[in-house]
Structure 1
């Protein structure tokens, strides 16, 4: 029961992480800034993402422009495009394997195959979390350095957007879910085709005549014979026997 609970918890965490990675990829809020001009009415918010840039006015009107050329992006966002897509693919495959190899499903019948598939799915989820963690951390570092730089004007400074925080949380969910899935399998993973059998209720007792640890009967006692037999090599009867008489035919009979 505890193993099933571990697997279900790991599957749920991996699913949440997969959804979070998809949101991180699609949301344009990797970098955000709020620029207020001379008039408070002209305030606007600028969002920079992997696929588009959006400008939201104070009136609620928002305009987005798709980034046609990847060369206009910074180095961190260029690498983030590829890494986030790879993380989505790996996490999807890993999550699919965890559901196939789970004990709560009937896709596989062999215990050894279920354990191997579940461990493989957990490892893929951990890898996907690490791949997702790299671009969001790189983008956050680049944003902080650019904000603290004296060469950047006030209107060009960006802050860490909501997509970065979602990416950090998604990576954490994927890594934690993968660890739970990898540790939910039994100690004997079935490589030799056998699994630990339940211990008997009563200890095994050896049959009579077998002596050693675990025997329950003492060895039988040996007794010496009362009279030792010594053979003479020949047998002599105690009572002598007479020789049989010879047969003689009665007189007067025909021979």
Structure 2
């Protein structure tokens, strides 16, 4: 019994891409891109994201406020906003494209060339989505590290540090890139089976069903 088939590879790629898209979408709106804790007031914790900043205190809890001016934001946050939205959009569009191209889906039946092109295009968009997630997260992480070690700031001044959203963003972007790669692998496996004369599993199942129905009628 062959486990590693184009159908299983397509389903794995779909699952990984969907997980990466959900993680990237969550990262986009999490206020945990950067964190700051003042040594002078340890009961206050500051959190900053792409859309709003939050303050956590033990007495009040979490209080968040959206950024009022887009133009007043640092350049890295402005770029990150655009790229993260591009990532979510291309990732969602990739899933919409690859779904009709999957084996066993009753869409584009009898048009293997179209299914192949949909999988390839979906893989490319998944790559774009993954890179669009990795780029802003890495950019914000770089600027945060540079500012943290900047000797021009006084030692008593609190500084921003990398938050948990950075790591979820890296994970989501990497999952999208891996998912897109798996779609390419699935296409290559299907092409190899076609050149070697093997029939896709979905078509073999259909032929077995037709043969069974004919035998039952006889």
RMSD: 2.0
* Residue in 1 that maps onto 2:113: 112
Measure how far apart 1:57 and its partner are: 0.5
Q: Which has the higher helix share?
A: 2
Answer yes or no: is the 8 Å Cα contact 2:32–2:48 preserved in 1: yes
* Residue in 1 that maps onto 2:145: 144
Gaps of 5+ in 1: 190-194, 200-255
* Residue in 2 that maps onto 1:198: 197
> TM-score by structure 1 length?
0.70
* Residue in 1 that maps onto 2:25: 22
Separation in 2, partners of 1:197, 1:9: 23
Counting only pairs closer than 5 Å after superposition, residues 220-239 of structure 1 correspond to structure 2 as none
> TM-score by structure 2 length?
0.82
Higher CA-based Rg: 1
Gaps of 5+ in 2: 199-218
Separation in 2, partners of 1:177, 1:198: 27
- SS in structure 1 at match of 2:54: strand
Deviations, residues 18-59 of structure 1 (Å, cap 9, x unaligned): 001111110011110112436x5xx11101111000000033
Separation in 2, partners of 1:172, 1:188: 24
* Residue in 2 that maps onto 1:90: 90
- The 3 A distance-change label for structure 1 pair 179 and 72 is same
Answer yes or no: is the 8 Å Cα contact 1:90–1:125 preserved in 2: yes
Deviations, residues 149-183 of structure 1 (Å, cap 9, x unaligned): 12224444010011111110011000001000011
Kindly report structure 1 stretches of 4+ aligned residues shifted beyond 6 Å: none
Counting only pairs closer than 5 Å after superposition, residues 157-168 of structure 1 correspond to structure 2 as 157-168=159-170
Counting only pairs closer than 5 Å after superposition, residues 1-255 of structure 1 correspond to structure 2 as 2-37=5-40, 43-59=43-59, 61-109=61-109, 110-153=111-154, 154-186=156-188, 195-196=194-195, 198=197
Separation in 1, partners of 2:35, 2:84: 19
Separation in 1, partners of 2:96, 2:60: 40
Answer yes or no: is the 8 Å Cα contact 2:17–2:126 preserved in 1: yes
Separation in 2, partners of 1:155, 1:46: 14
